[in-house]
Structure 1
């Protein structure tokens, strides 16, 4: 079957958009670790919301600057798998894994997390509309985060992260242990462009505790 010019243009646009969004995640890590805050906040929409009341890149730069100076001497963010799904031509969602290292005074804290992202194309360029960081653990390199309350920052009381809270399958798995020898039911595969949305179902976004 011949591919129409319109169809081909749409497919090329999707491929180019996918790569542009993937580049956002890499640029985010590099600009953050190298403390180029102008480059960093330029990855977000100009009217990015910061907290409940503030809007704009200047507010985001101020918040990032204070956070980095108050908590970290150095950081390194290692980007893992990146799943991207398009809502329409100019909006997409994604999940990005990140394994991070932080020099925090006398301790070297390692972290495993993922980002739930919303992306938007504005005037032909893709930006972050929102990044929701969901943490599994953070702990000194020499003290593995075994057990509960895996978020263990120096000088703070341990607390639970939200790594698994985006997806109901985690709780469902542990609540429903198979019994007997009957084979389990298997749901139909999720549509290719709705894998993330199918996994999430109607699960609300978790409330993220600022580290």
Structure 2
């Protein structure tokens, strides 16, 4: 690749990283301020909503109905963000999120992360998909010690899917946290950190909460 083309590709990658890192922050701000138009415009026009529906209008209808019914208010706090590029216009990422919800007479705190797919369309980056993975949700005054850490008011507690994307969690506890004799694996190839950690694990199917 000519030197000038290589420089332009590096600049494009830096600009893409910045644009992708802003997506979760914009998502959180639009969600917490209940600006459903701003929120759905972070997804492409043909976004799949579920139940055979697609498009931003269907996604906005889901947003308005869900957040008016479940929560009086929310605050989403964005944490670490790992991004790998599949090519110049497609990427994937894992981003942490700690969220607070006013849910009737309860103040529910949630720890989770998202597994994201990003796509650049006509020069602009969008979420192609967000897969939420939950560790716990519980009233502020009731720490979620023990099993079934997803404890929403008025619902039976259930297991989240926080560790299901990465098999290292189960492997670690299967050996009871003890050291093993195998060699240290080589570092993940460039742009393959998430895929290397996943080790071919299938996508989990968590309940959707935001």
Q: If the TM-score is normalised by the length of the shorter chain, which range does it land in?
A: over 0.9
Q: Could you give the per-residue CA deviations for residues 29-88 of structure 1, whole angstroms, max 9, x where no partner exists? A: 000000000000000011000014111001111111111011000000000000110000
Structure 2, unaligned stretches of length 5 or more? none
Aligned length: 209
Matches within 5 A, 1:86-165: 86-165=85-164
SS in 1 for 2:100: strand
The equivalent of 2:172 in structure 1 is 173
Distance 1:178 1:115 in 2: 26
Structural mapping, 1:7-22, within 5 Å? 7-22=6-21
Question: CA, structure 1 residues 178+114, in 2 after alignment: closer, same or farther (shift >3 Å)?
Answer: closer
Q: 1:81 to 1:202 in 2, by over 3 A?
A: same
Where does 1:42-57 land on structure 2 (aligned, <5 Å)? 42-57=41-56
Misfit runs of 4+, over 4 Å: 181-184
| Aligned counterpart for 1:209 among listed residues 201, 204, 207 | 207
- Tell me the distance in 2 between the aligned counterparts of 1:162 and 1:57: 27
CA distance in 2, matches of 1:6, 1:37: 39
Q: Aligned with 1:192: secondary structure?
A: coil
Distance 1:82 1:210 in 2: 20
Counterpart CA distance in 1 for 2:51 and 2:205 is: 13
* TM-aligned CA deviation for residue 115 of structure 1: 0.3
Match of 2:186 among 175, 185, 188: 188
5+ long unaligned stretches in structure 1: none
Q: For 1:82-120, what per-residue CA distance to the aligned partner results, in whole angstroms no more than 9, with x for missing partners?
A: 011000010000000000000001000000000000000
Correspondence for 2:70: 71
Give the conservation status (yes or no) of the 8 Å contact 2:132–2:208.
Answer: no
CA RMSD of aligned residues (A): 1.6
Query: How does the TM-score come out when normalised to structure 2?
Result: 0.96
Shift of 1:192: 3.1
